[in-house]
């Protein structure tokens, strides 16, 4: 049997880290709503077009951009439960890393490839490869970059584009990337034949993606979302990264290495990619993972022959490394997929259980809470949730979103917002300004305390058979 190359063995070894990232317990609040929506679509046999979850925007027009990802989540959960969902996330993270490793192939030196792969995984581990539909988007973007690098037949971008449109709203980034590299190639005085073919096939796939339950409107969703800048400026993932986490700082290191790569091997094609996607990452942290991925070929081309260990060497050690990595794969899957599949320690689960145990019906008694609590309620109760707000910021009417922003900031008029929505219960982080305001108000009292959360009830409100009057 032919020995695997050192590059293949090292790639499998690093992919174990990608697997570990994907096997983490499920705790992303946005994912909760995607999963709840997948269940809803499978039960109803149709994609909802109006909000089924909230009492602040009942029946509001809702474009379920990632409907196909939601269906995948719901189907996998039906088939294999929480373990299946975590296995799906692990498969996606490993697939994204496999594309990253393939994109690093121009660097023939093994140590350079290992450094590039480790940097990308370090950024990813900072929460950028979370269990969201963005993982589908990153995989599609990676395949687009691979096609532009002549590592994948451009015809594959036809199905990739179609699936991308229906799984995540990042599909315009693929078009932008290909346009950027085409312009860069022309500035370098070269013919961008490969990139043009890739753009044509991807554009065809994107257009074909409109043949689905949402029709052409699915193509306009990203533009409609970007028009809500007044609201998006308050959303963490749309804000500039603070560069306080390890993942953010590793991204800064990757940026510095990319700049060194441009000094070492200056090309317009690579320079434009770094400039455009670095700007996108600095404007919104949601683009950090995107920039980290598209930088890979730039880094690999700059150091093609550094180091004495070559990726294509087939030493006896490569088989040992490959077998050991495969064993780690199996061990991780067996060891990590047991036990709890959801990690809810950052959520006020005890307070929600307290209300449920005392038969407080949240379809009759209105509860105000931040968006992540709304996402959790949708996971727990589906369309019966009747939530105040969740993180579908693009869907809520502007006046509702403005009121929620006022509450989150603890601005004057917060109590009037609670009155306007006729709230009888408020569940809020105890270190937030709203919690301080409510604690000092004679119209509200603390019903229950958690280490990080306070549950308030309106004085005199009827809550249920076991909590008759607040």
> pLDDT at position 227, please?
61
- The token pair that represents 28 in the structure block: 């992303």
Rounded to whole angstroms, the Cα distance separating 174 from 209 reads: 14
Q: What percentage of the chain carries pLDDT values higher than 70?
A: 93
> pLDDT at position 308, please?
64
Q: In Å, what is the CA distance from 324 to each residue of 9, 121, 228, 319, 453?
A: 9, 20, 50, 8, 45
- Please give the full DSSP string across 320-354, using - where no structure is assigned: HHHHHHHHHHHHHHHHHSSS-SB--TTS-HHHHHH
Give 329's Cβ-side CA count (13 Å radius).
18
Residues 6+ apart with CB under 8 A from 442: 459
Rounded to whole angstroms, the Cα distance separating 273 from 346 reads: 37
Q: In Å, what is the CA distance from 202 to each residue of 149, 157, 185, 206?
A: 14, 5, 18, 6
Count CB neighbours of 147 within 10 A: 25
Please provide the size of the chain in residues: 470
Look at residue 378 and tell me whether its pLDDT is greater than 90: yes
Per residue in 67-94, pLDDT tens? 999 999 999 999 999 999 999 999 999 9
Closest by CA position to 350, among listed 427, 408, 444, 437: 427
338 — pLDDT class (breaks 50, 70, 90)? confident
What are the b/e assignments for 51-66, b being 16+ CB within 10 Å? bbbbbbbeeeebbbbb
Q: What percentage of the chain carries pLDDT values higher than 90?
A: 64
As a whole number, mean pLDDT of residues 105-114 equals 90
115 — pLDDT class (breaks 50, 70, 90)? very high
- Phi then psi for residue 64, to 5 deg, are -85, 75
Per residue in 142-183, pLDDT tens? 999 999 999 999 999 999 999 999 999 999 999 999 999 999
> pLDDT at position 225, please?
65
> pLDDT at position 98, please?
96
Cβ burial of 354 (10 Å; 0-12, 13-18, 19+) is middle
Look at residue 397 and tell me whether its pLDDT is greater than 70: yes
> pLDDT at position 452, please?
94
Least confident of 8-12, 22-26, 383-387, 414-418: 8-12
Per residue in 40-73, pLDDT tens? 999 999 999 999 999 998 888 898 999 999 999 9
Give the three-class secondary structure for 108: coil
Per residue in 405-421, pLDDT tens? 888 877 777 888 898 99
47 Rama sector, left if φ>0, alpha if ψ -120 to 50, beta otherwise: beta
Rounded to whole angstroms, the Cα distance separating 133 from 110 reads: 32
Per residue in 121-150, pLDDT tens? 999 999 899 999 999 999 999 999 999 999
User: Is 88 in contact with 282 (CB distance < 8 Å)?
Assistant: no
Look at residue 212 and tell me whether its pLDDT is greater than 70: yes
For helices 316-336 and 6-22, angle between their N-to-C axes, nearest 10 degrees: 10
3-state secondary structure 120-132: HHHHHHHHHCCCC
The H or E element that residue 429 is part of is strand 425-429
User: Is 292 in contact with 128 (CB distance < 8 Å)?
Assistant: yes
Rounded to whole angstroms, the Cα distance separating 200 from 161 reads: 11
Rounded to whole angstroms, the Cα distance separating 406 from 408 reads: 6
Look at residue 231 and tell me whether its pLDDT is greater than 70: no
Look at residue 312 and tell me whether its pLDDT is greater than 80: no
User: Is 158 in contact with 199 (CB distance < 8 Å)?
Assistant: no
Domain ranges in the chain are 6-335, 349-458
Q: pTM score, two decimals? A: 0.93
Closest by CA position to 30, among listed 1, 66, 2: 66
- Terminal CA-to-CA distance of the chain, rounded, Å? 75
- Please give the full DSSP string across 224-283, using - where no structure is assigned: HHHTTHHHHTTSGGGSPP---SHHHHHHHHHHHHHHHHHHHS--HHHHHHHHHHHHHHHH
For helices 110-123 and 246-264, angle between their N-to-C axes, nearest 10 degrees: 140
> pLDDT at position 228, please?
66
> pLDDT at position 226, please?
63
Give the three-class secondary structure for 65: coil
Radius of gyration for the chain, computed over Cα atoms and rounded to the nearest angstrom: 24
Cβ burial of 209 (10 Å; 0-12, 13-18, 19+) is buried
326 — pLDDT class (breaks 50, 70, 90)? confident
User: Higher confidence at residue 195 or residue 403?
Assistant: 195
- The token pair that represents 126 in the structure block: 């900072």
Give the three-class secondary structure for 409: helix
> pLDDT at position 191, please?
94
Per the prediction, the chain carries an average pLDDT of 90
What are the b/e assignments for 251-277, b being 16+ CB within 10 Å? beebbebbeebbeeeebbbbbbbbebb
User: Is 389 in contact with 56 (CB distance < 8 Å)?
Assistant: yes
């Amino acid at each position: 049997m032919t020995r695997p190359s050192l590059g293949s063995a090292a790639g499998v070894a690093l992919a174990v880290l990608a697997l570990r990232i994907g096997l983490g317990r499920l705790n992303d609040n946005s994912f909760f709503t995607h999963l709840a929506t997948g269940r809803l679509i499978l039960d109803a046999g149709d994609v909802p077009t109006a909000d089924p979850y909230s009492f602040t925007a009942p029946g509001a027009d809702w474009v379920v951009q990632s409907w196909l990802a939601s269906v995948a989540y719901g189907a996998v959960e039906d088939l294999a439960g929480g373990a299946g969902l975590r296995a799906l996330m692990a498969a996606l993270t490993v697939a994204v890393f496999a594309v990253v490793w393939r994109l690093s192939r121009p660097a023939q030196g093994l140590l350079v490839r290992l450094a590039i792969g480790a940097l990308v995984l370090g950024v990813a581990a900072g929460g950028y490869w979370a269990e969201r539909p963005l993982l589908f988007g990153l995989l599609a973007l990676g395949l687009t970059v691979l096609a532009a690098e002549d590592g994948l037949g451009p015809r594959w971008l036809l199905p990739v584009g179609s699936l991308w449109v229906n799984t995540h709203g990042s599909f315009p980034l693929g078009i932008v990337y290909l346009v950027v590299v085409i312009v860069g190639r022309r500035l370098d005085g070269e013919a961008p034949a490969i990139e043009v073919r890739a753009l044509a096939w991807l554009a065809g796939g994107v257009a074909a993606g409109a043949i689905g339950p949402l029709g052409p409107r699915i193509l306009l969703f990203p533009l409609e979302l970007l028009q809500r800048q007044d609201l998006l400026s308050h959303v963490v993932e749309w804000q500039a990264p603070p560069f306080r986490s390890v993942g953010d700082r590793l991204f800064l290191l990757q940026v510095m290495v990319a700049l060194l790569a441009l000094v070492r091997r200056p090309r317009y094609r690579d320079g434009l990619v770094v400039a455009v996607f670095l700007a996108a990452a600095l404007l919104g942290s949601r683009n950090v993972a995107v920039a980290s991925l598209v930088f890979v070929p730039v880094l690999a081309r700059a150091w093609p022959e550094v180091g004495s260990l070559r990726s294509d060497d087939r030493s006896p050690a490569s088989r040992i490394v490959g077998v050991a990595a495969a064993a780690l794969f199996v061990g991780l899957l067996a060891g990590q997929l047991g036990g709890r599949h959801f990690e809810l320690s950052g959520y006020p689960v005890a307070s929600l259980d307290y209300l449920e145990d005392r038969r407080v019906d949240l379809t009759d008694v209105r509860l105000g809470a931040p968006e992540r609590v709304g996402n959790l309620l949708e996971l727990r109760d589906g369309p019966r949730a009747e939530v105040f707000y969740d993180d579908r910021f693009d869907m809520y009417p502007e006046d509702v979103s403005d009121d929620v922003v006022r509450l989150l900031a603890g601005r004057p008029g917060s109590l009037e917002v609670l009155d306007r929505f006729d709230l009888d219960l408020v569940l809020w982080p105890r270190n937030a300004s709203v919690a301080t305001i409510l604690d000092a108000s004679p119209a509200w009292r603390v019903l229950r305390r958690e280490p990080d959360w306070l549950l308030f009830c309106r004085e005199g409100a009827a809550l249920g058979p076991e909590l008759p009057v607040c």
